[in-house]
Amino acid sequence: MELYEWPAHRIHRGLVTGEVSAREVALATLDRIGQVESSVGAYLHLRPREDVLADADAVDAALRRGESLAAFGGVPVAIKDNMCCRLLPTTCASRILEGFHPPYDATAVTRLQGQRAVLLGNTNMDEFAMGSSTEHSAGGVTRNPWDLGRVPGGSSGGSAAAVAAGEAVVALGSDTGGSVRQPAAFCGVVGLKPTYGRVSRFGLVAFASSLDQIGPFGRDVRDVALLLGAVAGHDPADATSRPAEVPDFEAALVPDCRGLRLGVPREFLAAGVSPEVRAAIAAAVDLLVELGAEVQECSLPTVPYALDAYYVIAPAEASSNLARFEGVRFGRRAQGTSDYVEMFRRSRGEGFGPEVRRRIMLGTYALSAGYYDQYYGKAQQVRTLICREFEEALSGYAALVTPTAPSVAFGFAEKMDDPLQMYASDVCTVPINLAGLPAVSLPCGFSNGLPIGLQFIGRAFDEETILRLAYAYEQAADLRHRRPPIVAPRG
């Protein structure tokens, strides 16, 4: 195994024992970026090489002084381009924020820096996190390391691709309707959406404030558990942050499922889920039974309406949140305009891409006089029903088992001209955001060399159980060592 492929927990052990230095780890990862980034396009902004190495050298110096090392000290990490970081531009992959340098750091970034993590750069994404393929980016597309002709998923496609390709050890993304879990499934890595309120949203540029959550990516479940522990916890700067105790997520990782009763909602395996995905999920369920779990079919009858409700609620919140980008206080401002109204109109028209404009218009319409009750109000009622159904189901089951996505990664431009088909790729992930619950995705098989994702859904603030399930399955299935065939481009 190459050094850039080591998981964070292995790097930590190597640093503590002196087997490897933080500089060596940083150099290996930077060299890997130099080899494959031109093919993958995972990053929008990379920090200068000398700055990355200086951070690594500081970790080595601290170790020589006998200082203790946190879990992510000396570990190369990447963050999605919608998390404020003073060391980098934060553009949300949008022209309207070209050149914007935030004056403060997101709390999740601050917590990683407090552990002496080595920040590499920020990753590509669908503009303002609105998309499922990372094709809606002003910075160009990101390619799936398993097949460069296919998408990595979205909107956190850059983070997932960076981890899969060895361009970062771990990464942070954000998940509003599946934007951590779906790209994790497409790129064959592990991705987790925490319970709403588990991780501070302070410094995360808002898309839909009642749905957004920061979540971790890693190449194995242990790294994801450790990264969640590093960034979780109450934050007074975020009014939606819950003062819940942060458990030792790593301690929950045991290699069996004894005593756990699991439900398989039939609605998540309905029409639209490919036969290959169905077969992989069925095989995963059989393995979970072998590991000691009791598995039963169950039903969440309102779930088929989740996608409709989501695409009213999320655009409505986006319409409100993105009103601040008007070309006055920061970001792009149209030149040669005759008055303020023209300046606002042209700045937003030039700065926002077509998918963002589409969602702003949908959201504005749903909130407009005469339609608020008809659309937004009804969507919130559906959301309430979905929350109740999940609560009822999870009162009888420790967790639910579903596919992460209805198919493997699709080809570039395959769904760009059909927004409804693109939105349907989130059908297995959106309901969990509406309910505010935690869910984790990990690989459970392959179809024509492309990864398939398995999703565990848990009770609110019970990430420990779904991490335990994910770890037990990961250890038994033993797919975590399989790597994408991405190689350095030929000179």
* Catalytic center residues: 80, 155, 179
Contact indicator for 444, 452 with CB cutoff of 8 Å: yes
DSSP string, 351-400: HS-HHHHHHHHHHHHHHSTTTIIIIIIHHHHHHHHHHHHHHHHHHH-SEE
First-to-last CA distance in the chain? 24
Contact indicator for 132, 180 with CB cutoff of 8 Å: no
Token readout for 264 is 């398989």
Distance, CA of 293 to CA of 316 (rounded, Å): 41
Distance, CA of 33 to CA of 52 (rounded, Å): 13
Q: For 35-50, b where at least 16 C-beta lie within 10 A, e where not — what string? A: bbbeebbbbbbbbeee
Q: Are strands 294-298 and 261-265 parallel, antiparallel or unpaired?
A: parallel
Contact indicator for 172, 77 with CB cutoff of 8 Å: yes
Contact indicator for 152, 189 with CB cutoff of 8 Å: no
Q: State the helix-helix crossing angle for 8-17 and 221-231, rounded to 10 degrees.
A: 80
DSSP string, 312-342: HHHHHHHHHHGGG-SSSSSS---SS-SSHHH
